[in-house]
Amino acid sequence: MQTAKQHWSVDETELKKDPEGYAVWCLEQRINFGLGEEKIKRSELIKYWDKIDIDPFKRKALSLVLV
């Protein structure tokens, strides 16, 4: 079993104080860098779709999956 990778430049304890901001950050990390083995939940992706900052090509590809 592999442990999830941690982002070296982010203090996750501070981020966790803002649950929504932390959820958006986690989604962005998993989409952009594939950190960890945890799959992205479709419901979370839909919930934070307008808030996540991702590459336009990745956004287009993900939008095709969400349809």
Average pLDDT, the chain: 85
pLDDT confidence of 1, banded at 50, 70, 90?
very low
DSSP states of the chain as a string?
-PPPP--TT--HHHHTTSHHHHHHHHHHHHHHH--SSPPPPHHHHHHTTTT----HHHHHHHHHHH-
Given pLDDT bands bounded at 50, 70 and 90, which one contains residue 35? low
Question: 7 versus 29: which is more confidently predicted?
Answer: 29
